[in-house]
Structure 1
Amino acid sequence: MTDSMRLWDDNPTVTDLLGIDTVVEAVAAALLARDLDPVTVALQSPWGGGKSSALDMLAKRFETNERVLVVRVDPWEFEDSDDVRATLISHLLTELRAQRPASFTEKVGDLLTRIAWKRVGATIAKSAITMSANPIDIIKAFTPDAKEQPTNMAGFRDEFDKMIDNAKDVDKVVVLVDDLDRCKPASVVASLEAIKVFLAVPKMAFVLAAEEDMIRWAIAQDIHAGGRSEFADRYLEKIVQLPVSLPRLTPETTEDFVTLLLCQKQCEAVDTKPAFQELVAHVAERRRNRQYPLIHEGDYPKAAHRPDAADRRMATLVARGLSGDQWSSPRAIKRFLNAWGVREAIANAREVTIKPDVSLKLYLLEQRFPEDFKALQQIDPNDRTTFVGAWEAWGRGDEDAEKPEKVSEATQFWAGSGPSIAAAMDQFDRYVNLAASFTSFSAGSGLTDAELALLAELAHQSDGTRMGAVDQVLAAEPTVRRTIVERLFSRLVTIDNPSDSIESACRITIGDQSLVADVCGWLRRYGLTRIAVIDVFEIAQVPGPEVDKLLHDLANDQQVTSGVRTTAQEKFDERARAGV
């Protein structure tokens, strides 16, 4: 291992370390299939599962095919526009004209005029200029090179169909739609309607990179669905012809992934990037031939980088030591490694000598098992070596070894994994002094960087983003879940829109009713004066007598608004009548 700083870019990439190339190839073939025309593919995976990277690989796959046009669309970037459907269609038309001006210029201008009139109507309806506005002047701001054409969307699909069909130098237009599951429900439905109603004509293909459950939830929440999940299922089935899931990480594939990430940084540090690419190609070939394990003890191609024992040992530790919600997400793994990489770099800058594999193992204990880390820290320094030696003997399963009283059962794999901390106790105090300077240790309540990112998503303005974070919190361990919710409430006094956070906390509490008493207490402590009427509706959905008491107190609290008091009384009465 080198002393250089190890940080991994979290942006989408076309370097495939996860083995999703086979999925990309299958999707690419489906997009060009004559029997599926038009076609919409839903590319599914959980948060951080590689959807955007898969879209990048698809785009690269078609780079050399001059008869295939690829257009990238991100509805999340323009969901605040007056008309998401019109904006999405305009973006597509503008890209078509830019990529193939000889085929599309004239007709695109006509279709953009229709879109512009529709957007002008939406803009004027939301503005204060109304009667004084000149629509002809406004339309020029929306439509490049516009000319006299019909001013509504009637017949748009037929005209669009003719335009695509007449482009004889184009066999397929592939539209890659990213981040759809980050949009508000109304924006999700608007984007799907734009595709289904106006754009799904022969020679058009769409790839929706989104978590299907999130899209289904957004449809059910939208006014068109009336909250009915069965409607959402039927709605989505009419739009998506081919649902495809990216492969999920397992502990074994996570180990390979982490090894490759560590090798990547080794090669970058000594400027041997081609050797890393050869290693990636070698692993991909073994994956295609089903030769396992992918990272092995045998011979490697001469030009390929060979993973060393330290990297493989650390990869095993990370893959087996992280919680299931972390190792199953490539993004969460990178966040964990990046946090460790920053800490290691600061240690080097301060000339604090800690072996990388030792610091990684201690960092894993600190982040994954904070209570056990504190227990180790509190042991008398003279007794630590004996204590850790017994801990590691139990972890390895040595005969007659017993678990020390102050550690948890969940740490057994960590204790039994290399390197031995008992043999490196001279480095422990250095690590503790370093860790104490980080917020994640001194005031972070044991939250990892990925969990801190969840806090931001729980307060996000996008309904889809918040509900996705809620699901992830409910999948976390109970102690982590409780800490995240408490931290969420502690931030209420510093954020502009506390209602989003309160909604997230209530949804989590409905899923984990052991939190009800705590949540009511945290609401009183952190959020009492910031509760709005809409928050009362969310609070009232949470079961439990503690909520009854909270609603009763809100109804009689002069610190809150009259609207909150009135709504709280109404909800309290409703729950009393219903026997909640």
Structure 2
Amino acid sequence: MWADDASKIDMLAYRPYADLITEIAISERMNPLTIGLFGNWGSGKSTLLNLIEEQTNIYTDKKIAVIKVNAWMFEGYEDAKTALMEAILQGMKENKTFFEGSKDGIKSLMERVNWMAVGKTALKQGIPLAISGITGLPPLIMMPNSSEFDTPEEVQKQIDKVQNFKQEYMKTNSKENVVENIRGFREGFSTLIEKSSVDNLIILIDDLDRCNPDRIIETLEAIKLFLSVPRTTFIIAMDESIISYSIKRKYPQLNDEGINVSDDYIEKIVQLPIKIAELAESDVKNYMLLLIAEMFLEEESLNQLIEKLKTKGIFIKGEIISGTEILDIVQKDITVNGLKYKGGTTQEEFEQQIQIFNSIGSIVASSLKGNPRQTKRFLNTFYIRKRLAEIQQIEFNLAILAKLMVLEYFDSDRDLFKELFQWQFEHSGKPIQLSTLEKRILDESGDGEPINIEDISKNPAWTSDKMKRWFGTEPRLADVDLSPYFYLARDSVAEKRLFSTNLNQEERKYINQICNLETHIALRRKKIEQMLEMDEVTRNEIFKGVLEKYHQDNTQLETLIEFYKLLPQYKSKVFEEFKKLKVKDITLTEILLFQQLDEESFQILKKYYVEEKKADIKLWDLAGV
């Protein structure tokens, strides 16, 4: 399993980016500088920040201090500006290497930050009613204990004390002093860095795009107004679309179409934008195979594998790593230096799973939209299901589990996946529809029969190019019992419209026989009539199953007509289903089926659709000719 956070191992080949960004960040000619790492959610921005932090350690000839800040931690603060400033000062205070002699300067700046903070909730936490009207205190002022209000003199003493705090605070934070506060902090911060032994202070800011829009703007403004001074470099990881939305929300677009408010704002804050490109399909497949390797190999062995691949130029050339190539490197090159597998794993398991994901890797990659985090989540789901099967001693094939998960993932609405679930449910785990599609698409029948998807499903996506690739990926699924795999994936197919899972195999077969429109009508009617001999619970479950099939396939209207005629106890429910059809879906075929009802029921339906639903009366009259 993989944690859904930044990796410390460079499996995305981001090291060159980290080298370049670090080189720029410590350049005296470039700072003060703000670098923006722009990338979509899950694109690896946090991993790149980790690599940059690690890369600063190789510059032994320079004194570089790195402070890492998670902007999302400011979400609960009333003022993100002062929260960021305080977090950076606290990070400097904890850095004994470069700021040991700067304690007084850090303390002085922290006091200034405290005075600048607006304490809207301070008085609500323990101040008596006598002074509750005194508002606007900085949040870090310690409130008196209730024991300090025992006498009138002590009460007056505390009121005077708070009044003095308020007067000093208002004096410091008056509108006339806003510019002075900014200038004073910038000068103090710049002096603090100048007097320290540091050559460059690098502040890494992560998860800014997870904050609400107001916090995002406040953080960016704090960097621009207070903190961007000589010897400082800010590196901010963010999703540009989220930042743009936040800016536009606070500063609405001007009428002048030539001005883009968000772009102009970002350009004023960020001097060097670096965009992390979406991973290509080959990159995602490579990343997936390396994640598998990470699960089995100790860190030292994994790093040797990655370095060997880099030496071969795999990443630079954009080539796809083959499972065979990974296994070859592991067995020949790393073994010499002491190959180490993680505890509880074996070489046999490693080789098996590398080959599985080597087989399906390309088609998985095409469905994950170049996103490393999605890749981790796919693999985590795979291994959760694998472990669930092992715990319950379910016999299954890892390759089949992986192939079905590919369908589940690239079918964004899961329509095909749910339809396949329905098919296997109706045929005791072995869907004949899937076998037919597989044979026709792969032309295994040899008769050159063209694919007519309408004979099997109403969804044309089954014959898309992506699905043809899926069908062509090993293993083949014809005649395979898929029920255990869908049992493991039942969270993905949970939907009221799907078949009731309370039905046993015999009841499912019974429903299929009733709903098989190719069966002679006399046999179908006999099956429906036999339901009268069943106990009420079983009969009701079968009726629900038939309704569910009708909701998925309106050609089952013919079956409901028979239920209406043969099972009186369901007449009212079935009649309500007749009234739910959309007018546009009612053709002459449906009206002719309705004519099989008794005359009174037909006329009620006709009146309902013509008068209430405004259907074309001519079509209904035509059926009576």
TM-score by length of 2: 0.61
Q: Is the 8 A contact 1:42 1:240 kept in 2?
A: yes
Secondary structure of 1:302's match? helix
Q: Name the residue aligned to 2:319.
A: 292
- 1:240 maps to 2:270: yes
How many residue pairs match? The answer is 426
In structure 2, how many angstroms separate the alpha carbons of the residues matched to 1:224 and 1:345?
51
Deviations 1:493-526 (A, max 9, x none): xxxxxxxxxxxxxxxxxxxxxxxxxxxxxxxxxx
Which position in structure 2 is the counterpart of 1:320?
363
Change (3 A) 1:289 1:241: same
1:29 and 2:23 matched: yes
The structural deviation recorded for 1:397 is: 6.6
Asked whether 1:392 is paired with 2:420, we answer no
d(CA) in 2 for partners of 1:71 and 1:350? Answer: 47
Kept after mapping to 1: 8 A contact 2:120/2:136 = no
Question: Counterparts of 2:255 and 2:198 in 1: how far apart (Å)?
Answer: 41
Q: Distance in 2 between matches of 1:355 and 1:114?
A: 65
Q: How does 1:27-176 map onto structure 2 within 5 Å? A: 27-63=21-57, 65=60, 67-100=63-96, 101-120=99-118, 131-132=133-134, 135=137, 138-139=140-141, 151=172, 153=181, 154-167=183-196, 169-176=197-204
Q: Pick the aligned partner of 1:419 from 466, 475, 499.
A: 475
* CA positional deviation for 1:179: 0.9
Structure 2: distance between partners of 1:291 and 1:220: 37
Deviations along 1:184-226, one digit per CA (max 9) or x if unpaired, are 2211111111111111011000011001121122111115877
| Aligned counterparts of 1:225 and 1:199: Cα–Cα separation in 2 | 28
1:275–1:303: 8 Å Cα contact kept in structure 2? yes
**1:303 aligns to 2:334 (yes or no):** yes
Question: Given residue 373 of structure 1, which amino acid in structure 2 is its aligned partner?
Answer: F
Contact 2:38-2:237 within 8 A present in 1 as well: yes
Query: What is the CA–CA distance in structure 1 between the aligned matches of 2:89 and 2:497, rounded to whole Å?
Result: 50
Q: What's the offset of the Cα at 1:426?
A: 4.2
User: Of 341, 347, 372, which aligns to 2:416?
Assistant: 372
Mapped partners of 2:41, 2:70: distance in 1: 16
Number of the residue aligned with 2:212: 184
Work out the CA distance in 2 between the residues paired with 1:288 and 1:434.
Answer: 36
Q: CA RMSD in A?
A: 3.5
The whole-number CA distance in structure 2 between the counterparts of 1:262 and 1:124 is 52
Flag the 1:39–1:393 CA change in 2: closer, same or farther, 3 A: farther
- 1:428 and 2:482 correspond: yes
Q: Contact 1:393–1:401 (CA<8 Å) still a contact in 2? A: no
The residue number in structure 1 matching 2:494 is: 442
The 1:96–1:383 alpha-carbon spacing in structure 2 relative to 1, beyond 3 Å, is closer
Residues 471-500 of structure 1 show CA distances to partners (whole Å, capped at 9, x for unaligned) of: xxxxxxxxxxxxxxxxxxxxxxxxxxxxxx
Q: Is the 8 A contact 1:67 1:171 kept in 2?
A: yes
Q: Given residue 417 of structure 1, which amino acid in structure 2 is its aligned partner? A: T
Q: Which moved more, 1:94-103 or 1:362-371?
A: 362-371
Equivalent-residue separation in structure 2 for 1:331 and 1:76 (angstroms): 19
2:606 corresponds to which residue?
none
2:116, 2:138 within 8 Å by CA — same for their partners in 1? Answer: no
- Give the Cα separation in 2 of the matches to 1:383 and 1:180: 48
Residue 409, structure 1, aligned to residue 463, structure 2: yes
Query: 2: CA distance between counterparts of 1:375 and 1:33?
Result: 59
Counterparts of 1:90 and 1:163, CA distance in 2: 14
For the 8 Å contact 1:28–1:58, the answer to whether it is kept is yes
> Match for 2:38: what amino acid?
Q
Matched with 2:261 is 231
Q: CA deviation at 1:297?
A: 4.5
Partner AA of 1:311 in structure 2: I
**Cα distance in 1 for residues equivalent to 2:105 and 2:371:** 44
Distance (whole Å) between structure 1 residues aligned to residue 132 and residue 117 of structure 2: 14
> What amino acid maps onto 2:303 in structure 1?
Q
SS in 1 for 2:141: helix
Residue 360 of structure 1 deviates from its aligned partner by 1.1
Q: Contact 2:282/2:365 (CA < 8 Å) preserved in 1?
A: no
For residues 284-318 of structure 1, give each alpha carbon's deviation from its aligned partner in whole angstroms, at most 9, with x where no partner exists: 33346637333364552521679747524424525
CA distance in 1, matches of 2:139, 2:72: 28
1:432 offset after TM fit, Å?
Answer: 3.1
Deviation of residue 367 (structure 1)? 4.5
Q: Which runs of 5 or more residues in structure 1 are unaligned?
A: 1-6, 142-147, 447-580
* C-alpha distance after superposition, 1:210-262 (max 9, x if no partner): 01121122111115877997122111101111111223211111111111122
Query: Corresponding residue for 2:511?
Result: none
What is the identity, as a one-letter code, of the residue corresponding to 1:67? K
- Determine helix, strand or coil for the equivalent of 1:155: helix
* Aligned equivalent of 1:339: 381
Give 3-state SS (helix, strand or coil) of 1:234's partner: helix
Is residue 2:398 matched to residue 1:356? yes
C-alpha distance in structure 2 between counterparts of 1:402 and 1:132, whole Å? 84
Closer/same/farther in 2, CA of residues 254 and 445 from structure 1, 3 Å limit: farther
From 223, 244, 254, the counterpart of 1:216: 244
Task: Please tell me the residue identity of whatever aligns with 1:290.
Answer: K
TM-score by length of 1: 0.66
Percent identity between matched residues is 24
State the distance in 1 between where 2:245 and 2:381 align.
33
Query: What do residues 8-48 of structure 1 show as CA deviations (whole Å, max 9, x unaligned)?
Result: 22121111111111111111111012221111111111111
Change over 3 Å in CA distance of 1:238–1:132 after alignment to 2: closer
Deviation by residue 1:309-333 (Cα, 9 ceiling, x = unmatched): 7524424525424664x34211112
1:196/1:239 contact within 8 Å kept: yes
Give 1:98 shift: 1.4
Unpaired stretches in structure 2, ≥5 consecutive residues: 144-167, 174-180, 340-346, 499-625
Please tell me whether Structure 1 or Structure 2 has the larger radius of gyration of its CA atoms: 2
Paired AA for residue 330 in structure 1:
P
Distance 2:89 2:304 in 1: 40
Distance, in Å, in 1 between the alignment partners of 2:400 and 2:483 is 12
Give the drift of 1:364: 2.5
Would you say the 8 A contact 2:251–2:261 is kept in 1? no
Query: Which residue number corresponds to residue 278 of structure 1?
Result: 304
The answer to whether the 8 A contact 2:68-2:204 is kept is: yes
Distance 2:287 2:138 in 1: 57
